[in-house]
Structure 1
Amino acid sequence: MGKIFTNQVGFLPNCDKKAVLNFESPDFKLVDENQKIVFEGKTSHFGTDEISGEDTYIADFSSFTGQGKYKVVAGDAESVSFDISEKSYDKLMHDICKCFYYLRCGHGLSKEFAGEYYHEPCHLTKATVYGEDTDPVDVCGGWHDAGDYGRYSTAGAVAVAHLLYGVRFFNNLLDVKFDIPSEKCEKGELPDILAEVKVELDFLMKMQRENGSVWHKVTTFNHADFIMPEEDKAELFLFSVSSLATADIAAVFALASVVYKDYDSKYADLLMEKSLKAYEWLQSNPEPLLFKNAEGSNTGEYPEPEDFSNRYWAACSLYEATGDKKYYDDALALRDKVAAYDKEDSFKFYQGNIFTCFGWTDVAGFGSLSMLLTGEDSELKELSKNSILEEAERLCKNASENGFNLCMLKSDFIWGSNMEVLKYMMVLTVAGLLDPKDEYKKVLTSGLDYLLGCNSMDVSYVTGNGEKAYRNPHLRPTAVDGIDEPWPGLVSGGPNSGLQDEKAQTLPKDTAPMKCYLDDVGCYSLNEITIYWNSPLVFVMAGLLK
């Protein structure tokens, strides 16, 4: 029997709404919880595309705005039930924000707020500076990065950036409550999102050396077995500084100083002081200092082939935060290096314009966001606008070429493909602010539908959200805590036609990209989680719900 794929969480009443059928049916119905028909429509035949391999028929019910619980019925098939309501995404927003709390390292969790997902304090010992004869360093705190227990400066900075740019562009993010301990500040209490981000910022400050440079990561020498975090007693190491980490921290501390000054001026001043110190180190060390794992170590490397985009972001962020033109001049001088790198296909990670990339490998897109936040017009602000709008047009064209209206090409289904979707959705979100085209909103909505179940796997890629939400993330604590369900709100890496792990390689090599997925804890190349796969979804949802 054929299947009906749809967003398993639901829809806002006035947004686009659709289901995708992989079988022929000339018409479809929408039925409520009592099986009463509330809407009838005709399907449109899209055909077969290369990313899904499905012969698709589209059931569009955008014109229906009644609130309640519904299913799509066509032929002998029916979809899962979903919600149409102004509150359809309230739980989702709560969960994707709360997941950072569950990933806290050190003394972070309490039974009051973590409930059954509580675990004992972890990774409290000081870290040995690898390869140096110096005293161990206290770097306790922050968030576990992914399925492992490592903490990484560039990854953490990017996750914080997604969240804080979300706050800068969409004030509604400050109103989201997600049940974490309150954080006192100069002017009372911090909003939940800023209280949670401060946990990571405090950790990242510990990763900065006296000279302003930043250690790339703190991990054990090799990945821990599948054990609870408090059982991971191996020695912690601080691995060498990198210009990548130092630039990213200079950028994100400047960004954070602007956000936190409205709540705690002393904290904001400290962030700016540390940002300037990192930037001074970069100026004194103009040659790239990249990162490679120590021989024999297998924890996350987070390598990047250049640091131009990182330095560009730092300059743009400091310019936006301070208004000092010297940072603008630095960014202008770096622009051509970044643009030239964008043309080097042998190095490029990102499919689109590098000035619109919001990932950990290419971060020039964050520089664009900072430039958009500046008050006056400038050459770089114009570059940012044009880059984002041109990229949005490319994404809309991509979406028109498959039955799911998904802005992805076959080549986008890489390790962490769901982050590729989310980076694109961020572009469309910002493009909608610059030029509120209906097409941008349609493609953005289709991306959310895809993540929440309207895909050829018929699975929601956010735990605890959707009737068929995935349940087996590659994540140590949820694998061994003895609790059936993982905590809600975790975004899976998603389909990956590279199939880089043993379990994934049980799939046929000619599997359509959208179907290169298994909900299996062993599939680290398909089903791992990371902080920076959750954070762009927070940004996108804040924009959608503004």
Structure 2
Amino acid sequence: MLAGTGLAALMSAAALADAPAPLRLSQIGFEAGGHKRAILVSDAATPLSWQIVDASGAVLADGETMPFGADESSGQSVHQIDFSGALEAGEGYRLIVNAYESRSFAVTERPWQDLARDALNLFHQNRAGIAIEERHVERPDLARPAAHENEVLTCFSGEDTAGNHWAGCDHSLDVTGGWYDAGDHGKYVVNSGITVWTLLDAYTRFGAAYGDGTLPIAEAGNGVNDLLDEIRWNLDFMLAMQIPEGVTMDLPVGPLTSREDLVFTPTDVSGMAHHKAHNEVWTPLPYAPHTDDVPRYLYPPSTAATLNLAASAAIGARAWADVDADYASRALNAAIRAYDAALANPDIYTPGTFDGGGGYGDNDVSDEFYWAAAELYAATGEQRYLDDLRASPHFLGAPGVEGSPTGSIAWPSVGALGTITLATVETGLSEAERETARANLVTAADAYIAVRDSEGYAIPFGPGDYVWGSTSNLLNRAVILSLAHEITGEARYREAVVDAMDYILGRNALDQSYVSGYGARPMRNPHHRFWAHAADPAFPKPPAGILSGGPNNQNMSDPIAQTMRGTCAPQACWADHIDSYAMNEVAINWNAPLFWVAGWLDAE
């Protein structure tokens, strides 16, 4: 009886520890002397008294909550608690509000350091074409043999899912390497573009922290910055996706008014980039990449993919100029060829009618043209790119700026990346134009702060923003806020960055850390074919530092999300389930801003 009682008590304690708590705060703690905010779920209409106590119970700070009331995004009534100030570094702190007591939390000088490094390790572990060795991962079960080695592919031919017949091509490309994009084993040029840009931009800001030998990667010790080595693994893949000279393919040209009955036109595609490379059909869960024997193909080129290659290779040319001049020259030549090819073929889109991989369709490439021109202008200083920039509707634009079509940063919306480059890189742009770019980024940041101040959970994200990959979209807004802090020096922008990161790490409607391995309630069951322990115990659990796509109430297409349709507030439409690809997949373009923001906060 005693043993049974003890077991029941332990089980109850474990369940309690894993249950959502009324007090919501970052589950990895806070920065000494930095911004600190918590949220209490409570219907109380008047302020409540709060205290911060240390491990001994001594009161270190006190105050009153700020009732916010009903919050549309979370579907909850909440109070906000700001306890910013000079708490000394230490552990065992607790926040107490009436009968509610938070989990204990720590205050440290660098709370985001480990997170940045773990977030970056996703890329090494998602590499194709190389063995993932035990010495480079946190647990032995995460190691695996090389997958998709010597990957020489030709083009898909035959009928697509809409009944269109594709003629294929006469060439093959060696596209070995690169990163698997997400939960599947596909490799995509479009999504690679924003990912490579984000990591290379991080390199320009705080890349010195990732010098040779600092990261657990295969190239450590080669004399090159480890962050650059990791990026090159995928940039090499992107360069390999460029089509040789003299190639003609039958492609649909112009706006895609229908997915069916496509009209094909012989097109010179020299210098364009194939949109993607992936399996002929969707593979099941779980499915280790090194066991994958499903036929794989190159899929037709697109203007969007070609411009992603142009932009990525151009910023790569700048990054490698003083590291490997030959590689920088190769990248720049590829960027120029790609840009010219996109100008020659400005309206070739992907119809999204192929089985086995994500579509990444984008029928408005004006922002990609602007972004690519900005990167090529920064790399070459040539007048023709500046002329194209000034003619673009996105010129110097930023999210939320009146008259600008430039939207918030995401893989199909990359105009702001061009403006960031023009605002922060020395070019031949006039000082007045650079100042306009900087001012527009600050205006965008101000708009995000206004949203934050209208939200119960105090984040720069409104009730209509919870789409597929919402966590990464929030972190991309944090990138803009970070840049506003750099431009102005004003602390309020950095505080808003911390607010966004605190949401990711538990200060949200579900009391959920959306990062594996971090917090009392971390994400555990991502939609991923190898980190698939939830589907088969023979497969590994995810490594630490992997970001879930997060709440999504606008595309509830997977079987788990479908059961939640119409029943959850926007911020609560999420489940930690391996079958939920719409809410709990992981992806390279999601972990990239997690690394950027965590690394930026740590460097600050």
In the superposition, the TM-score normalised over structure 2's length comes to 0.83
Residues 475, 81 of structure 1: alpha-carbon distance in 2 compared, 3 angstrom cutoff:
farther
2:388 to 318, 322, 330: 330
Does structure 1 retain, via aligned residues, the 8 Å contact 2:396–2:436? no
Query: Over residues 402-423 of structure 1, what are the superposed CA-to-partner deviations in whole Å (9 max), with x where a residue is unaligned?
Result: 1221111111011111122112
Does structure 2 retain, via aligned residues, the 8 Å contact 1:519–1:527? yes
Matched length: 534
Q: Which runs of 5+ in 1 are unaligned?
A: 344-349
Q: Which residue of 2 aligns with 1:490?
A: 546
Bigger mean CA offset, 190-199 vs 356-365: 356-365
Q: Which residue of 2 aligns with 1:346?
A: none
> What is the distance in 1 between the residues matched to 2:505 and 2:292?
34
Does structure 1 retain, via aligned residues, the 8 Å contact 2:467–2:551? yes
- The alpha carbon displacement at 1:173 in A equals 4.7
Bigger mean CA offset, 245-254 vs 270-279: 270-279
Q: Which residue of 2 aligns with 1:72?
A: 95
- The alpha carbon displacement at 1:98 in A equals 0.8
Does structure 2 retain, via aligned residues, the 8 Å contact 1:48–1:402? no
> What is the distance in 2 between the residues matched to 1:229 and 1:53?
40
Does structure 1 retain, via aligned residues, the 8 Å contact 2:141–2:540? no
Q: Which residue of 1 aligns with 2:218?
A: 181
- The reply on whether 1:228 has 2:288 as its aligned counterpart is yes
2:234 to 183, 200, 204: 200
Q: Which residue of 1 aligns with 2:578?
A: 521
Q: What one-letter code is carried by the residue in structure 2 that aligns with 1:154?
A: V
2:40 to 10, 21, 31: 21
2:415 to 341, 349, 364: 364
Residues 133, 54 of structure 1: alpha-carbon distance in 2 compared, 3 angstrom cutoff:
closer
Residues 481, 145 of structure 1: alpha-carbon distance in 2 compared, 3 angstrom cutoff:
farther
- The alpha carbon displacement at 1:102 in A equals 0.8
- The reply on whether 1:45 has 2:71 as its aligned counterpart is no
1:190 to 224, 227, 234: 224
Q: Which residue of 1 aligns with 2:564?
A: 507
> What is the distance in 2 between the residues matched to 1:353 and 1:445?
27
Residues 475, 380 of structure 1: alpha-carbon distance in 2 compared, 3 angstrom cutoff:
farther
> What is the distance in 1 between the residues matched to 2:573 and 2:479?
24
Q: Which residue of 1 aligns with 2:525?
A: 472
Q: What one-letter code is carried by the residue in structure 1 that aligns with 2:357?
A: T
Residues 352, 129 of structure 1: alpha-carbon distance in 2 compared, 3 angstrom cutoff:
farther
- The reply on whether 1:91 has 2:114 as its aligned counterpart is yes
Q: Which residue of 2 aligns with 1:444?
A: 497
SS of equivalent residue, structure 2 residue 392 = helix
In the superposition, the TM-score normalised over structure 1's length comes to 0.92
Q: Which residue of 2 aligns with 1:129?
A: 155
SS of equivalent residue, structure 2 residue 464 = helix
> What is the distance in 1 between the residues matched to 2:272 and 2:537?
37
Residues 54, 130 of structure 1: alpha-carbon distance in 2 compared, 3 angstrom cutoff:
same
Q: Which residue of 2 aligns with 1:246?
A: 306
Q: Which residue of 2 aligns with 1:347?
A: none
Does structure 1 retain, via aligned residues, the 8 Å contact 2:182–2:586? yes
Q: Which runs of 5+ in 2 are unaligned?
A: 1-19, 158-167, 245-269
Q: Which residue of 2 aligns with 1:430?
A: 483
Q: What one-letter code is carried by the residue in structure 2 that aligns with 1:100?
A: F
Q: Which residue of 2 aligns with 1:262?
A: 322
> What is the distance in 1 between the residues matched to 2:37 and 2:349?
46
Q: Which residue of 1 aligns with 2:198?
A: 162
> What is the distance in 2 between the residues matched to 1:248 and 1:275?
9
Bigger mean CA offset, 23-32 vs 216-225: 23-32
> What is the distance in 1 between the residues matched to 2:407 and 2:484?
10
Bigger mean CA offset, 84-93 vs 372-381: 372-381
- The reply on whether 1:237 has 2:297 as its aligned counterpart is yes
Does structure 2 retain, via aligned residues, the 8 Å contact 1:8–1:81? no
Query: Over residues 171-201 of structure 1, what are the superposed CA-to-partner deviations in whole Å (9 max), with x where a residue is unaligned?
Result: 45545933222356xxx51222111111101
Does structure 1 retain, via aligned residues, the 8 Å contact 2:53–2:94? yes
Residues 289, 337 of structure 1: alpha-carbon distance in 2 compared, 3 angstrom cutoff:
farther
- The reply on whether 1:147 has 2:183 as its aligned counterpart is yes
Bigger mean CA offset, 77-86 vs 12-21: 77-86
Does structure 2 retain, via aligned residues, the 8 Å contact 1:155–1:532? yes
Does structure 1 retain, via aligned residues, the 8 Å contact 2:366–2:392? yes
Q: Which residue of 2 aligns with 1:107?
A: 130
- The reply on whether 1:537 has 2:589 as its aligned counterpart is no
Does structure 1 retain, via aligned residues, the 8 Å contact 2:277–2:296? yes
1:56 to 69, 78, 87: 78
Percent identity (aligned): 28
